[in-house]
Chain A
Amino acid sequence: MKLWLIYIAVFALGLTGFTVMMSSAASPEKVILGPWDEKTWMYENNTSIGADIMAASKTTATNSQPAFSLHEAENWEFLPDGKLRLTVNDEIQQLTWTIKGRGHVLQIKYADGHVENYQLTELNKDRMILDAESDVQARGIARLTFERNKTNTYAQEIQ
């Protein structure tokens, strides 16, 4: 009888720890909601592309650069219904987004079925870092850093 009590206590302790951890942090699916401004775009070799030359680098992609098209967008807005609104040169594109794994992979789908996976390296209410993935186990080949656009109500809700 005493042994069973110990077992139950250990399981209850684990369950409590899990509940406390889950309730003390928001799901990445909620944190990501809202508009984000793309700030920097960095290659794997840590050569940061500054804001001034960022636009130029995007338009002069070499063969060694990844064929990710999303980096052309300046503003990303994650909507709660799984839609992603991209603003590219004042033009708006509608895609869909999902978060996979333990909340560490952002998957973006285009209307034509093309899929892009990004590793959510960092995600909090102010900053988001995405690693464009070439392989699930490998670190990304390009890093995109975003900052929260605080003009939108989503940001206020999360704060």
Chain B
Amino acid sequence: MLRKFSNSRTLGDNIRLGVLTAFSAGMVNIASLLLFFSFSSNITGHFAILASELVKGNLYQGAVVFAWIFLFFFGSFVSNMFVIHLNKRNAYVAHALPVVLEILCLVAVGTYGSFFYKETLAETETLLSLMLFAMGLQNGLTASISNFAVKTTHLTGTTTDLGILFSMFTRKEYRQNKELRGKAKLLLSIAAGYLVGAVASGFTYMYMGFGLFYVVSLFLVVVIFYDFYKLKLSRYLSNKRSKMETEQLETIAKPLPNIPEHKKKRTQEEVPAY
């Protein structure tokens, strides 16, 4: 999900990444709405609110919304900085770091909310800021590594693209286009993941309150460890393969019985060519 970059990613990579991150984004967005009465990833809405607050002369609220928009932007900025500056050293680490930061932000929100939250406005604004930064990190990462194919924190673009694609599918030539079908599959998966996450968030909130941020973090841990596991597995398989090859070579080169020492040596010398 994370280790591949840009055009080397398959549709399956993007779908897996899209579904899991859209699920967590849906959960976070609805959690922020239920707990704090404000969305944490609806940046279009925040721009509209910013304009509305400025028109009404509510500078305090305007400043808060401005800060939230900036933090989403900054999250995306930081994410892509990791990707472009660390990608050549270690792609997996470069892609996993923004997710680790996101998990830290969400765990901080969950922990503070569970144990210290006094429901003051300053606390609410700060916790929302952390969530917007986290969503910026996530959206920046998924968009960056998937060549802008996967964006999971809001569905405006996704819904627009789906509308366009389904209108295209009214013509046979587009219906048979494998790339377009794949794109539709990806976008539908993202929308479904987001919706399921949002609904799950509503139920989880009823039973767990702020604890739901731990559940979201758990999903993000799955995103990180899926690739870690894959990397480990491929490394393990390649190690095993080379070990088996070595063993085969050793078996062939094993001293043969009743062969004089000088002949044995020759036989072993011949082995490397095999």
Which residues of A does B touch, CB under 8 Å? 14, 17-18, 21-22, 24-29, 82, 98-105, 107, 117, 122, 136
Given known A100-B124, A102-B49, contact A18–B37 (CB-CB < 8 A): no
B174 to chain A, nearest CB (A): 35
Cβ-closest chain A residue relative to B64: A102
Which residues of B does A touch, CB under 8 Å? 33, 36-38, 49, 53, 56, 58-68, 70, 119-122, 124-125
A-B contacts, 17 listed (Cβ < 8 Å): A17-B66, A18-B63, A21-B62, A27-B60, A27-B121, A27-B122, A28-B121, A29-B120, A29-B122, A100-B121, A101-B38, A101-B124, A102-B68, A102-B125, A105-B37, A107-B37, A117-B37
Identify B59's interface contact among A25, A98, A117, A122, CB under 8 A.
Answer: A25
Given known A100-B36, A101-B36, A101-B38, contact A21–B63 (CB-CB < 8 A): yes
Interface of A is mostly: mixed
Q: Which residues of B contact A25 (CB under 8 A)?
A: 58-60, 63
A154 to chain B, nearest CB (A): 17
Cβ-closest chain A residue relative to B50: A102
Give Cα A115–Cα B60 distance, bound, in whole angstroms: 26
Give Cα A24–Cα B64 distance, bound, in whole angstroms: 13
Which residue, A21, A82, A104, A136, has most C-beta atoms of chain B within 10 A? Answer: A21
Given known A22-B60, A25-B58, A117-B37, contact A98–B66 (CB-CB < 8 A): no
Check if A21 sits within 8 Å of B119, measured CB to CB: no
Check if B37 sits within 8 Å of A136, measured CB to CB: yes
Q: Which residues of A contact B67 (CB under 8 A)?
A: 18
Give Cα A22–Cα B122 distance, bound, in whole angstroms: 12
Q: Which residues of B contact A26 (CB under 8 A)?
A: 60
B70 to chain A, nearest CB (A): 6
Check if B66 sits within 8 Å of A99, measured CB to CB: no
Identify A100's interface contact among B37, B56, B65, CB under 8 A.
Answer: B37
Give Cα A102–Cα B36 distance, bound, in whole angstroms: 9
Given known A25-B59, A27-B121, contact A102–B38 (CB-CB < 8 A): yes
Check if B70 sits within 8 Å of A14, measured CB to CB: yes
Which residue, A14, A21, A24, A101, has most C-beta atoms of chain B within 10 A? Answer: A101
A78 to chain B, nearest CB (A): 13
Q: Which residues of A contact B36 (CB under 8 A)?
A: 100-101
A128 to chain B, nearest CB (A): 13
Identify B60's interface contact among A21, A82, A98, A117, CB under 8 A.
Answer: A21
Identify B119's interface contact among A98, A104, A136, CB under 8 A.
Answer: A98
Give Cα A24–Cα B57 distance, bound, in whole angstroms: 11
Identify B33's interface contact among A17, A18, A24, A136, CB under 8 A.
Answer: A136
Q: With contacts A102-B53, A103-B61 known, what are 13 further pairs, Cβ within 8 A?
A: A17-B66, A18-B66, A18-B67, A21-B66, A27-B121, A99-B121, A100-B119, A100-B121, A100-B124, A102-B61, A102-B65, A102-B68, A104-B37
